[in-house]
Amino acid sequence: MSGPAAASPLLHLRDVAKSFGPVAAVKGVSFALHAGRVHALAGENGAGKSTVVKMLAGVHRPDSGGLELEGRPISPDGPAAAQAAGIAVIHQEPTLFPDLPVAENIFMGRQPTGRFGRIDRGAMNEAAGRLFARLGVAIDPDRQARGLSIADQQLVEIAKALSRRAKVFVMDEPTAALSGVEATRLFAVIRGLTERGAAVLFISHRFDEIFSLCDDITVMRDGAWVSTDRVADVTVDTVVRRMVGREVSALFPKQDVEPGDVVLDVRGLTRTGVFEDVSLTVRRGEIVALAGLVGAGRSEVVRAVFGIDRYESGDVRVGGRLLPPGSPAAAMAQGIALVPEDRRQQGLVMELSVERNATLTRLRPLARFGLLSGRGERRAATDLARRLHVRHGGLGDAVGTLSGGNQQKLVLAKWLATSPQVLILDEPTRGIDVGTKAEVHRIMSGLAAEDMAVLMVSSELPEVLGMADRVLVMREGRITAELPGSRATEESVMFAATGQPGAGA
């Protein structure tokens, strides 16, 4: 196998730069994509990855530098032109026509026609079926696109790109919303694409994916190119260091705290088929991690504790007082806050402004005679945003315009506004970049130091090991191990999570 530099590249970015007003989003980035290879693009949010993707997609034109496809310079002036040139961008959440059949989604505007120019549905469905067969997936071409899982929607997009004879596939965080099985299936599809001579640019925040799937890796920081290597030649440590530009040890700034009284006391919580006999305690100033594999029932437990889901037996006490089951309002009143995993759907109202979202959880204390005072709301929001270093254009901007990391911090802000005694975090750093992760960790640590009890569900072992005072491991709905933070290791946690010795993540 030849190195990245040896073969002639399929797509070459040459010294591309792009500025928006005074802000240089991308400054002089060069790298090459080769046929048959998967190239990872790594970097924190705001490092300029999205801008690079948009230049490839034809959405932005580079201010200087340019693209070369198979040695010929191209300058797509729109998404349609980029597609025609053979560059396909697969977005995290594709935009399909929900009302139309899958086959028509693939061939819209290019449907095979028969006599008198009529669309030949049989031929169209057959062609779509052949595309899916090439990808090794089973999707009915005749079914409506509405109701397809995100994973299947991405496959429809890939099939569409194949039908347009795309040579370069750009995948912008495709796995962020996928389950483990779906991601594995996508990787099989990606390998199939490269075997047939396509080049893939793969963007992900998950290092395990980058290291198992990709051949080459380019790191960007602050809009600039940092390095391009073969994945085999680098380690996670070196990549992270290049992404953040500082030492990795600063990632988990856990302060040592002497735990106080038990605040959250859960005993024998059971919901048949989901979780069974779950007992746990969290003390003041303590961070407790709930570790385990996806599907072990961790999220379900914390949702039940907060009262979103019902449970059949067991009880939950906060500061010694029994919590009525199935009532989030009661849980909030007694000082529990839950930051959900899916912040877009459950945590924030994307169309509302930053300040409205931040104060949404405590409208009552801010209201006078039942009416909200705009000034009080603004003051409270400003205070919270400053405390958490939320980077925003203005407090009046819609939340949807913030980056993922800042959205997560805002969800935190929203719940901290209720001054909870117990803070439950479900996957607090999923899908956010390394730098923001460190900030979320710093905030968590600071809250524990302020005597808050923190219960965290996390699938990221480094986070569990770096942040938790105590680690509880769940497997198939039961707690299988309780380890003090100092004694928990990757091996011991994985053993308890899988029931097998040292299989590794």
Partner 1 sequence: MKRPVEGTAHPRSGARRVWAARELGVLLALALLVAVTAADNSRFLSAQSIRDVLLSASILMVLAVGQTVVVVTRNIDLSVGSVLGLTAFATGKLFVAAPGTPILLAVLAGVGLGALCGLLNGALVAAARVPALVITLGTLYVLRGIDHSWASGEQINAADMPRSFLDLGTATLLGVPVLALLAAAVLVVVAVWLSSYRSGRELYAIGSEPAAARLAGIAVGRRVFTAFLVSGALAGLAGVLHAARYGTVDATVGTGLELQVVAAVVVGGVAIFGGSGTAWGAALGALLLATIGSSLAVLRVDPFWQQAVVGALILAAIGLDRLLAARMAARAVRSQGRAREGTSHGA
Q: By CB under 8 A, name the binding residues for partner 1.
A: 79-80, 83, 95-101, 104, 108-109, 111, 113, 117-119, 136-140, 142-144, 146-149, 152, 155, 179-182, 184-185, 188-189, 191-192, 195, 293-296, 476
Residue 139 or 226 with smaller CB distance to partner 1: 139
Q: How far is the CB of 133 from partner 1 (least distance, A)?
A: 9
Q: How far is the CB of 166 from partner 1 (least distance, A)?
A: 14
Residue 162 or 332 with smaller CB distance to partner 1: 162
Residue 130 or 241 with smaller CB distance to partner 1: 130
Q: What is the largest CA-CA distance in the chain?
A: 81
Q: How far is the CB of 117 from partner 1 (least distance, A)?
A: 6
**What CA–CA distances, in Å, run from 185 to 154, 158, 188, 190, 327?**
11, 13, 5, 9, 39
b/e burial code for range 176-196 (CB count within 10 A of at least 16 → b): bbbeeebbebbbebbeebbee
CA distance 421 to 317: 12
Residue 79 or 462 with smaller CB distance to partner 1: 79
CA distance 202 to 92: 11
Angle between the N-to-C axes of helices 434-449 and 236-244, in degrees from 0 to 180, rounded to the nearest 10: 80
b/e burial code for range 105-138 (CB count within 10 A of at least 16 → b): bbbeeebeeeeeeeeebeebbebbbebbeebebe
Count of all residues that appear for the chain in the document: 505
DSSP codes of every residue in 58-92: TSS--SEEEEEETTEEE---SHHHHHHHTEEEE-S
Helix (H, G, I), strand (E, B) or coil at 273: coil
Helix (H) or strand (E) holding 303: helix 298-306
CA distance 340 to 427: 8
Angle, alpha carbons 188-494-448 (nearest 5°): 115
Residue 63 or 120 with smaller CB distance to partner 1: 120
Q: How far is the CB of 137 from partner 1 (least distance, A)?
A: 5
Residue 337 or 479 with smaller CB distance to partner 1: 479
DSSP H helix total and E strand total for the chain: 17, 22
Q: How far is the CB of 269 from partner 1 (least distance, A)?
A: 19
Residue 19 or 179 with smaller CB distance to partner 1: 179
CA distance 5 to 1: 11
Q: How far is the CB of 415 from partner 1 (least distance, A)?
A: 26
Q: How far is the CB of 490 from partner 1 (least distance, A)?
A: 16
Q: How far is the CB of 83 from partner 1 (least distance, A)?
A: 7
Residue 209 or 476 with smaller CB distance to partner 1: 476
Residue 137 or 440 with smaller CB distance to partner 1: 137
Q: How far is the CB of 172 from partner 1 (least distance, A)?
A: 14
